[in-house]
A and B are shown apart, each in its own frame.
Chain A
């Protein structure tokens, strides 16, 4: 049972345009959400996070939006750059877990075309 879903396995975007990666979750107990970026043969790299008390968090070119009623979050990358080409994982946790264990989505492969 997938509690975190990324329904688009891949996405292609032109350089300079906006990339929008989507993520849905089913467990209403989740209260902390993160996005990770992963290059081949490397570990995931933390990008940005958001807690459930917010609906938006911004860090440079990366913005994460959270819609709690829809159990949906998205990552916006503006402007997209070729170096952004990677697999992006959405992850969620809840403070009740104590250790903030993460539940990951399956990932979306982003290709930014020069």
Chain B
């Protein structure tokens, strides 16, 4: 069984479009995260979310918004996509204070 899953695995789209990446975890974790790995291979936190609060990395543009329909899902919505948004996006989940479990990643290419 996949612990943390993301769809789609690959996403190619044009500048200006709006897209979403879905994430689901079946580990019963209470916190979920989105990370971005850029072309320099840095993994950077974008958001963390549990049922109490959303913590946003201040460097993330407001074109990016997480949406959590329930504890097992944290989807990432991106509006008005830009070339610089091209990256691999990883979803992760954890219990507070424990190691995070990552999804397989979504490679977003903006043309």
Query: What residues of chain A have their CB less than 8 Å away from a CB belonging to chain B?
Result: 32, 34, 36, 41-46, 49, 87, 89, 91, 95, 97-104, 106-107
B97 touches A43 (CB 8 A): no
Interface of chain B: mostly helix, strand, loop or mixed: strand
Closest Cβ of chain A to B70, distance in Å, is 18
A44 in contact with B50 given A98-B55, A106-B42 (CB within 8 Å) = no
5 pairs from A and B in contact (CB 8 Å cutoff): A49-B98, A99-B55, A102-B35, A104-B43, A106-B41
Contact partner of A46 (CB less than 8 A), chosen from B44, B99, B104, is: B99
Contact partner of B100 (CB less than 8 A), chosen from A46, A103, A106, A107, is: A46
A104 in contact with B42 given A98-B53, A99-B96 (CB within 8 Å) = yes
Give the size of the chain B interface in residues (CB under 8 angstroms). Answer: 29
Could you count the A-B residue pairs with CB atoms below 8 Å apart for me: how many are there? 64
A95 in contact with B43 given A43-B90, A43-B103, A101-B55 (CB within 8 Å) = no
Taking A49-B99, A100-B96, A104-B42 as known contacts, 17 extra A-B pairs with beta carbons closer than 8 A to each other, sorted by chain A number, are: A34-B99, A42-B104, A42-B105, A43-B4, A43-B90, A43-B103, A89-B43, A99-B33, A99-B48, A99-B53, A100-B31, A100-B100, A101-B33, A102-B35, A102-B100, A106-B42, A107-B41
Binary contact track B29-64/A, C-beta < 8 Å → 1, others 0: 001010100001111110011100101010000000
Closest Cβ of chain B to A111, distance in Å, is 16
Contact partner of B50 (CB less than 8 A), chosen from A36, A43, A97, A99, is: A99
User: Which A residues are in CB contact (< 8 Å) with B53?
Assistant: 98-99
